[in-house]
């Protein structure tokens, strides 16, 4: 295996890691806010799928990836409103709603694609955004292409990471969100509308999931097929936990998952036939360790998964 | 809501779901009534169609039963996809050991059948037990833990079929199981129905009996309703949760058992990516009740089967089946909420008219 471990290998692997981490990181950032408000939005998997299709359809029809991306976000918001009504207003079990919603979206996306383009469509593809290559800096060995030759959406996502961290830990709004996730009754007593904050949390995660779905469509896949998100929404849940509900750590966690994902592609490209599956499973095992609280659970929002009612 | 009115409500939701689902045929210029006739005709009114419907329902029944046991006990397990994969591995190991020159080569088919059932159940049960153990020992979140375990199971199967169990050939899969390890067809070679469906019905009876008539079932439900109260009543919460996890994981594993031994006849990469979650949805449609699970699974198995036949004949995609099911489940879920809200609104409305009457303004 020694012959594959060249600088070129690391360069492509690292660049692919960052590229693959991007869309999932975007989804994870929104989910972080939502979970900080006490709602586990499992439905982001379905939102991603719906928005990926919406982005595809709009970009295909109008030829504008920007319009497609915006349509994906709008689709995310609409689906988020529905999810919030189920989670918050109806106070239903968040796990139940998420699971049913995802199953429904898998079918709806598949159906809609066929309703739009026919039952056995010729695979069409859309062009996304071009990569931005920052001059000089992309020539830095190993890290250059990974950090300075990526899609503009990645830089936007990294900006969101910083903004979300600032929002959560440096503003009153952030304190409100965290308060609702830790102790909704106390927040309610302090005059905060728990339903309102949670609606905003679910809408944020759904909008980001919509953005992430569009991002995936416009940078990684460029054409629609069934099951295109392949559980990336669930992976985002893992990333949020592994990142201890902290945006910067979430970004690092997304990179680790992205690196594991990219390793499969890079090894295949390098012609390695002995694929080390345990390496791919490693991020999930690490997440299991993180979730199970072996290392302590002090970060998990205390009211996560608990619907709130005044009664 | 009493169980009787909830049955009526579910029935109403099914009808409403089918009516709403009728809209889905319009973009394809199809007559909804005729489409439904094609679907239900193909799924329920021929012997072969019925065989396929029951075969499709089989893994859903197993996972639905697993969901009933787990969720009624307050163990919100979402790891049935993992259990299915691990159960498939257990069944595969036994089936492959029935090849000539291996451990069970000389054993009669009945022994191979029984040991595959046993090993598969044991594997899936142990798999779910890890999640329950982590929850009890460290207080981890079952929902998130079990979701992660699904991926570990998927990579484990991926490893098995690409390395140690891989057959000669271009595809990552094991070799075909020997004839005596395969579940026999019940109605001839042209009908899909296999012995797994009968096992599923036996499992329904067992779960029904455990949940309704045994102390253990009472402990499961008590734990699920109120953990603290059940501990106070002398129930060993940790132990009961472990038992519920083992039972539900084992039942989920039998979904994998029936798929590899009854349908696919070999272990392959990505063997089943949907049933793990659809089974949960089906259990919810069945009102988390063993009998309801059978009805819901057969309904969904039939919808899916009928939709597939329809897709072959017309342009209408088979995903309409899953959409209709999703709509029905959403209606079932939101039903009590809507009822409550209407009742609250009515009582408020009555109170308001009465109070204005009292003041006599």
Q: Which residue of A106, A117, A307 is the best one to mutate when testing the B interface, meaning the one whose CB has the most B CBs within 10 A?
A: A106
Q: Which two tokens stand for residue A52?
A: 């990926």
More confident residue, A257 or A272: A257
CATH of the domain at A35: 1.10.3470
Name the CA radius of gyration of chain B, rounded: 23
Q: Does A299 reside within a domain?
A: no
Which structural domains are found in chain B, ordered by start? 3-18+31-339 (1.10.3470)
B173 has which bridge partners?
B268
Chain B residues 115-154 within an 8 A CB cutoff of chain A = 134-135, 137-141, 143-145, 147-152
Q: Would you place residue B1 in the very low, low, confident or very high pLDDT band (cuts 50, 70, 90)?
A: very low
Q: What mean pLDDT do residues B256-274 have?
A: 92
Chain A residues 215-254 within an 8 A CB cutoff of chain B = 227, 231, 234, 237-238, 241
pLDDT tens digits, residue range B154-177?
999 999 998 888 888 888 899 999
Q: Does A309 reside within a domain?
A: no
B315 touches chain A (CB under 8 A): yes
Q: Does A105 reside within a domain?
A: yes
Range with the largest mean pLDDT of A90-104, A123-137, B49-63, B128-142: B49-63
Q: Would you place residue A158 in the very low, low, confident or very high pLDDT band (cuts 50, 70, 90)?
A: very high
- Comparing CA positions, the residue from B278, B259, B104 lying closest to residue B196 is B259
pLDDT of residue B251: 98
Q: Do B138 and A292 touch (CB under 8 A)?
A: yes
Among B134, B321, B325, the residue with its CB nearest the CB of A292 is: B134
Q: How far apart are CA B315 and CA B192, in angstroms?
A: 25
Interface predicted TM-score (ipTM): 0.86
Q: Which residue of A45, A49, A95, A303 is the best one to mutate when testing the B interface, meaning the one whose CB has the most B CBs within 10 A?
A: A95
Domain that holds residue A254: 2-117+143-291
Q: Please determine, for residue B271, whether its predicted confidence score (pLDDT) is greater than 90.
A: no
Nearest CA in chain A to B338: A90
- Comparing CA positions, the residue from A311, A19, A56, A307 lying closest to residue A153 is A19
Among B140, B151, B281, the residue with its CB nearest the CB of A293 is: B140
SS3 A151: coil
Q: Does A126 reside within a domain?
A: no
Q: Does A306 reside within a domain?
A: no
Q: Does A64 reside within a domain?
A: yes
Alpha helices in B97-186 (DSSP H): 109-138, 142-162
B254 touches chain A (CB under 8 A): no
Q: Please determine, for residue A277, whether its predicted confidence score (pLDDT) is greater than 80.
A: no
Q: Does A296 reside within a domain?
A: no
* Residues in contact with A25: Cβ distance below 8 Å, sequence separation at least 6, in sequence order: A157, A161, A239, A250, A251, A254, A255, A258
Q: pTM here?
A: 0.90
Total count of domains within chain A: 1
Q: Does A7 reside within a domain?
A: yes
Query: What dihedral do alpha carbons A304, A305, A308, B1 form, nearest 10°?
Result: -170
DSSP letter (8 states) at residue B180? G
Range with the largest mean pLDDT of A74-78, A134-138, A234-238: A74-78
- DSSP H or E run through B75: none
Q: Do A119 and B311 touch (CB under 8 A)?
A: yes
């Amino acid at each position: 295996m020694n012959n594959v471990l060249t600088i070129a290998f690391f360069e492509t692997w690292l660049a692919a890691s960052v590229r693959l981490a991007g869309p999932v990181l975007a989804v994870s950032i929104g989910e972080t806010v939502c979970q900080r408000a006490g709602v586990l939005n499992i439905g982001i998997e379905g939102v991603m799928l719906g928005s990926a299709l919406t982005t595809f359809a709009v970009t295909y029809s109008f030829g504008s990836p920007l319009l497609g991306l915006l349509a994906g976000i709008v689709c995310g918001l609409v689906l988020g409103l529905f999810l919030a009504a189920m989670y918050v207003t109806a106070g239903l079990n968040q796990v139940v709603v998420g699971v049913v919603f995802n199953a429904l979206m898998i079918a709806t996306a598949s159906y809609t694609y066929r309703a739009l383009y026919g039952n056995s469509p010729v695979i069409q593809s859309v062009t996304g955004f071009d990569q931005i290559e920052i001059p000089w800096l992309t020539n830095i060995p190993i890290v250059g292409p990974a950090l300075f030759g990526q899609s503009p959406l990645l830089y936007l996502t990294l900006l969101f990471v910083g903004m979300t961290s600032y929002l959560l830990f440096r503003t009153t709004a952030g304190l409100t969100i965290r308060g609702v996730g830790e102790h909704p009754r106390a927040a309610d007593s302090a005059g905060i509308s728990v339903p309102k904050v949670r609606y905003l949390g679910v809408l944020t995660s759904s909008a980001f999931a919509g953005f992430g779905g569009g991002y995936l469509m416009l940078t990684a896949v460029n054409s629609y097929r069934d099951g295109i998100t392949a559980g990336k929404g669930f992976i985002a849940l893992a990333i949020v936990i592994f990142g201890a509900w902290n945006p910067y750590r979430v970004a690092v966690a997304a990179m680790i998952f992205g690196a594991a994902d990219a390793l499969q592609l890079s090894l295949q490209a390098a012609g390695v036939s002995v694929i080390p599956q345990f390496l791919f499973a490693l991020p999930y095992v690490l997440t299991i360790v993180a979730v199970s609280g072996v290392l302590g659970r002090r970060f998990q929002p205390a009211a996560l998964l608990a619907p709130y009612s005044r009664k | 809501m009493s169980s009787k009115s909830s049955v009526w409500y579910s029935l109403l939701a099914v009808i409403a779901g089918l009516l709403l689902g009728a809209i889905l045929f319009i973009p394809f210029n199809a007559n909804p009534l005729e489409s439904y006739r094609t679907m239900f005709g193909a799924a329920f009114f021929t012997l072969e169609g019925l065989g396929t419907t029951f075969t499709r329902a089989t893994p859903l029944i197993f996972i639905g039963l697993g969901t009933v046991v787990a969720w009624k006990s307050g163990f919100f397990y979402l790891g049935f996809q993992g259990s299915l994969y691990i159960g498939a591995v257990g069944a595969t190991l036994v089936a492959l050991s029935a090849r000539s020159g291996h451990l069970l080569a000389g054993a009669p088919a009945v022994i191979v059948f029984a040991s595959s059932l046993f090993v598969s159940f044991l594997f899936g049960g142990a798999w779910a037990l890890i999640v329950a153990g982590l929850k009890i020992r460290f207080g981890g979140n079952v929902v998130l833990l079990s979701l992660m375990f699904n991926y570990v199971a998927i990579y484990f199967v991926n490893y098995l079929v690409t390395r140690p169990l891989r057959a000669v050939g271009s595809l990552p899969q094991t070799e075909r199981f020997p004839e005596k390890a395969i579940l026999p067809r019940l109605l001839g070679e042209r009908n899909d129905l296999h012995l797994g469906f009968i096992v599923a019905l036996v499992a329904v009876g067992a779960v029904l009996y455990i949940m309704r008539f045994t102390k253990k079932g009472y402990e499961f439900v008590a734990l699920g309703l109120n953990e603290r109260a059940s501990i106070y009543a002398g129930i060993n919460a940790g132990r009961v949760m472990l038992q519920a996890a083992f039972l539900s994981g084992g039942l989920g594993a039998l979904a994998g058992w029936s798929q590899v031994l009854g349908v696919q006849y070999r272990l392959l990469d990505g063997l089943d990516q949907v049933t793990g979650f659809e089974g949960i949805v089906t259990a919810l449609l069945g009102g988390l009740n063993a009998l309801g699970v059978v009805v819901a699974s057969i309904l969904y198995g039939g919808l899916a089967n009928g939709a597939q036949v329809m897709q072959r004949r017309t342009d209408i995609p088979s995903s309409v089946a899953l959409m209709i099911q999703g709509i029905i489940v959403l209606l079932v879920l939101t039903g009590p909420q809507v009822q409550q809200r209407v009742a609250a609104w009515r009582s408020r409305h009555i109170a308001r008219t009465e109070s204005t009457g009292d003041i006599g303004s």
